[in-house]
Amino acid sequence: MAALATTLHAQQAAKPPEAPKPTPRTADGHPDLSGVWIAGNRGIRPLTDTSSIKVVLPLEGVNQDKDNVFAALDRISVTERAKDANKPPYKPELAAKVKDLEVRQSQEDPAFYCKPAGVPRMGPPAQIVQLPDKLVFLYATNLFRLVPINASHRTDIDTSYMGDSVAKWDGDTLVVDVNNLNDDTWLGPDGYFHTEAMHVVERFTRSGDTLKYEVTVEDPNVFTRPWNMNARTLRLGSRALEEGPPCVEKDAEHLVTLDHH
């Protein structure tokens, strides 16, 4: 058995690593971002990616006969986000407001009341359709964005949850510039509010069957400097994007604690 194990180990060690998959390109030579892109959480993603957290039931310290398992999972998510050192750089005088909103998240978070999560909280699209002059971003929450390439921002529209997006290529990275965002969204579920001065830059870089998503947020009214959110890496999926169920808020009148949701 020992000899067999040694032989198998030697064979595995001798096996050359798989060559990286080539990045598909469109007729104009740019990387083809089209496809269904899968992350750990395809809904409203937290600032810290908790998709790798392994939860084994029964949860430690949770009495499943008396405690709500979903509330316990919420607490785990809150704890993991608290460990992340990469938090928005709010001005010192706004720290108390952020903390107050964080404590009252289940009362104040716009997303809790079925409002769109907005850019950038909604995260990367679940599917991208790339055309020569524009991209279509599709989300599992039944929302979409049309992003023209090499166009100027519009000046005749109202602010909105999705804002106004325009794109350009920086080498092999697609850079999406977003402005005209309303202030009826948060950057995350921990009281991270912003104003209509917020400006967002998204970067999409495809390598083989993976897509790197990076975001920089600026808001001079509340931040001391631009904030780079945690980058996310998505993988190419094979299942078609399915329409998600509509969001129907039914919990607000039943809330009895300030537990996060």
Residues 106 and 142 in one domain: yes
Q: What is the pLDDT of residue 7?
A: 53
Residues 105 and 74 in one domain: no
Report how far residue 183's alpha carbon sits from residue 197's, in angstroms, rounded to the nearest whole number: 9
Residues 183 and 76 in one domain: no
In a domain, 12, yes or no: no
Report how far residue 254's alpha carbon sits from residue 261's, in angstroms, rounded to the nearest whole number: 13
Per-residue pLDDT of the chain (261 residues; tens, 9 = 90+): 445 455 555 555 566 666 778 999 999 999 999 999 998 543 333 444 444 444 444 455 555 555 566 566 667 777 788 889 999 999 999 999 999 999 999 899 999 889 999 999 999 999 999 999 999 999 998 999 999 999 999 999 999 999 999 999 999 999 999 999 999 999 999 999 999 999 999 999 999 999 999 999 999 999 999 999 999 999 999 988 888 787 877 666 656 566 665
In a domain, 247, yes or no: no
Q: What is the pLDDT of residue 78?
A: 76
- The 10 Å Cβ neighbour count of residue 145 is 18
Measured CA angle at 234 (ends 133, 25), to 5 deg: 40
In a domain, 171, yes or no: yes
Residues 58 and 135 in one domain: no
Residues 74 and 133 in one domain: no
- The 10 Å Cβ neighbour count of residue 55 is 11
- Enter the tokens of residue 37: 């892109």
Residues 111 and 194 in one domain: yes
Beta strands in the chain (DSSP E): 35-38, 127-130, 134-138, 144-148, 164-170, 173-179, 199-207, 210-218, 227-228, 232-236
Report how far residue 121's alpha carbon sits from residue 231's, in angstroms, rounded to the nearest whole number: 13
Residues 71 and 97 in one domain: no
Q: What is the pLDDT of residue 59?
A: 52
In a domain, 101, yes or no: yes
Cα torsion 230, 105, 260, 123: sign: negative
Report how far residue 12's alpha carbon sits from residue 158's, in angstroms, rounded to the nearest whole number: 60
In a domain, 115, yes or no: yes
In a domain, 223, yes or no: yes
Q: What is the pLDDT of residue 257?
A: 65
Residues 58 and 95 in one domain: no
Residues 58 and 142 in one domain: no
CATH code for the domain of 161 = 2.40.128
**78 secondary structure, DSSP code:** H
Query: What is the count of structural domains for the chain?
Result: 2
Q: What is the pLDDT of residue 66?
A: 54
Q: What is the pLDDT of residue 44?
A: 34
Residues 179 and 66 in one domain: no
Q: What is the pLDDT of residue 167?
A: 98
Report how far residue 50's alpha carbon sits from residue 77's, in angstroms, rounded to the nearest whole number: 7
Structural domain of 78? 54-85
**20 secondary structure, DSSP code:** P
